[in-house]
Structure 1
Amino acid sequence: MTTPTKLRPAPVIDETARLLTEHYVFPEIAEQLAHLLRRRLAEGAYDVDDAEGLARLVTADLQSVNGDRHLRLKHHADPATPQQGAATQASMRREFDTSLGGVPRVELLGGGVAVLELAPMLFPLEWVAEPLSAALTLASRAQALILDLRANRGGDPDTVAFVCGYLLDERTHLNTMYWRGGARKEQSWSLPYVPGACFGGSKPLYVLSSNSTFSAAEELAYDLQQLGRAVVVGERTRGGAHPCDGWTVHPHLEVTVPVGRAVNPVSGTNWEGAGVQPDVPCAAVDSLDHAHTLALARLAG
């Protein structure tokens, strides 16, 4: 039997600090955090024997300055390959294969109102285009649509744009990503053409949110809300608007570092820290019933 290699925190902290200073979208905060990590290491704060424990301690320190929830040292139970982003992608693939491609529920409720749940993530578009297209095409025949993002933890901005293509009548500017330094930016637009039938931009649309809704799922809710296309029902979301990359720094540890920031063309800002504020606040567990009642009233009116 092979004896596991003893965890050595120092190389993990050194590499995490290096990646922060090279890639974090806010260079000044990166310097503060790198100094904090090295100081905590010298104080013995990271003298733990297991990778999962180290991940918890380091993540708490990484998020202690500006509360950026995308800034993490993530523990992976299965050993990760060293390629950039490989650890997260492998974990996502396992969830994709066990969640009907990220579309676990399509259901017709009473009164011609459909509910479409997207969970646990908005997976990469090259994976999820087929199941998403099938589900959205099926839901297109409903008189009103409820998009359930309560259990969605984020994912791919390209998938956000793909979904929006089914819910809007024309190509629309959704978001702009500003990368570190501010010199390079990248706009995100809904697609002018999508496979299958569209729900369109005029029928009633509701988005369910919870305090677990995060990242790209927040973008989907926020984009539709800011455009006046959807009514958000439920709880304030977690508040993570920074796209990030991941690097393996130990066989079971991956550091995720935000490399850009999102700016909505309508609000001129984003949902970082504040979360998406629901139009109709209520407990997440009650939000489906609330949205269904709202949809029925709108259709009756």
Structure 2
Amino acid sequence: MRVSLIAILAASVSAFPLIAQAAAPAPAAGAVSPATPAAAPVTAGEGRAVALKLADELVATFVFRQQADAYAAMLRKNAAAGRYDSGTRSDVAKRMTDDLLAVHKDGHLHVMVAEPEEQGGGNGGLPKDFPPLIQSAKWIAPGIAYIRPTAFMSTDEEIADVQKFMSEHSSAKTIIFDLRNHHGGRLGEMDVIFPYLFAKKTPLVRMQMARSIYDKFGSPFGEAPSLEFVKDAEHITATHYASPGADTPLRKSTVLLLVSNKTASAGEHFSLAMKSSGRATLIGEATAGANHFGGPAPLNDHFAVWMPVGRTFDIKTGKDWEGDGVAPDIQADPKQALVVALEKAGLSHDEAVRLDATEVPAEPVHSDKLRAR
């Protein structure tokens, strides 16, 4: 890659989370405006050159070398056959993505057209019509705190809002994290939340990538104090820890986590950390199954790839959640998960149903801007 992975992650081709996860499929052909770069036809030889460049980048940086070799062989064969020589750039990006996922499914890997950056106006560079990063944060009932984030983008504003929520609700007997529409992000918000919930230093999950990639591009998840790194000749492994903060009633509170198959990336990281540590009860359905972290990288002036370079896994089992998701502790229709949680917190069914009707998660209009982990 010609550009540092860290630089790309910080100022990406499109607005993507640092440790991103699963997203909606690429738009259908013809769904973009003819005025956009995505609607322009590929130039002579462009699709073939992009495919060959992508094949090389996969072999050099993809999280699993054997899968990378299979992806690369397919791309080179298809490029030679002229499969990527026609259509709009949007068509070709989708065609390449579909071909990649037909070889091996990956919740993050996809080819995209490098559109001009949209002005997000305070949402960490996300589109203007993206829902607020925190959709709701309040006392939903006496003694029950409730927060519903859309993503963890680690903007100064979002981190301050999460800190304010945790501080102002530190006396809660039950705290509900509604991640049913959480589309990924970074670690910053988690590192604000965890000190309130843990009474002792606790290892949560591990993240691993090839040492060669780390030495070349650096750490895609930063060097936060909550991370402890172990480096050997082949890998770098970071353990994500929760360290206790001030002693508040939240250390002993009941923690309920609402999840769905739209809960992705950093949302799944948070879910696994809370489940594996035994600190929360997960309610809903299995999460999106987008595990591999990484970031966007350019292929030419018009195409880029979201490249997975490492994986996050359970410290106890060594398993990650790619493809399978994080399983809930209590299986429930995600649309009823808040009702179940409120009943578990001691409310009557009727009161739980009444409160649930006031808390409807908003969907991102451009959910393809966040790619599954």
TM range (shorter): 0.7 to 0.9
1:222 — aligned with what? 272
2:50 — aligned with what? 12
Number of residue pairs the alignment of both structures matches: 286
After TM superposition, the score normalised by the length of structure 1 is 0.84
Query: Percent of aligned positions with the same letter in both sequences?
Result: 26
Q: Confirm whether residue 185 of structure 1 aligns to residue 222 of structure 2.
A: no
Q: Find the partner of 1:64 among 93, 102, 110.
A: 102
Deviation at 1:180, TM superposition (A): 1.8
Q: Which runs of 4+ in 1 moved over 4 A?
A: 2-6, 95-100
Assess, with a 3 A threshold, how the Cα gap between structure 1 residues 162 and 75 changes in structure 2: closer, same or farther.
Answer: farther
Structure (1/2) with the larger helix percentage: 1
1:147 — aligned with what? 177
Q: Confirm whether residue 110 of structure 1 aligns to residue 141 of structure 2.
A: yes
Assess, with a 3 A threshold, how the Cα gap between structure 1 residues 63 and 191 changes in structure 2: closer, same or farther.
Answer: farther
1:94 — aligned with what? 126
Which runs of structure 2 are paired with 1:34-73 in the superposition (5 Å)? Answer: 34-73=72-111
The one-letter amino acid of 2:271's match is A
1:278 — aligned with what? 328
Q: Confirm whether residue 294 of structure 1 aligns to residue 347 of structure 2.
A: no
1:167 — aligned with what? 197
Assess, with a 3 A threshold, how the Cα gap between structure 1 residues 72 and 19 changes in structure 2: closer, same or farther.
Answer: same
Task: Tell me which moved more, 151-160 or 12-21.
Answer: 151-160
Deviation at 1:160, TM superposition (A): 3.0
Q: Confirm whether residue 79 of structure 1 aligns to residue 128 of structure 2.
A: no
Counterpart-to-counterpart distance in 1, 2:274 and 2:59: 34
Counterpart-to-counterpart distance in 2, 1:80 and 1:297: 46
Assess, with a 3 A threshold, how the Cα gap between structure 1 residues 162 and 19 changes in structure 2: closer, same or farther.
Answer: farther
Q: Deviations over 1:109-159 (max 9, x none)?
A: 23422210111x111365632122112223323221110111111111344
Q: Deviations over 1:56-75 (max 9, x none)?
A: 22112222233111111134
Q: Find the partner of 1:22 among 44, 60, 64.
A: 60
Unpaired runs of at least 5, structure 2: 1-34, 212-233, 349-373
What value does the CA root-mean-square deviation take over the aligned residues?
3.0
Deviation at 1:244, TM superposition (A): 0.9
Unpaired runs of at least 5, structure 1: 82-89
- Whether the aligned pair in 2 keeps the contact of 1:136 and 1:198 (CA below 8 Å) is no
After TM superposition, the score normalised by the length of structure 2 is 0.69
Counterpart-to-counterpart distance in 1, 2:319 and 2:290: 13
- Whether the aligned pair in 2 keeps the contact of 1:80 and 1:252 (CA below 8 Å) is no
Deviation at 1:245, TM superposition (A): 2.2
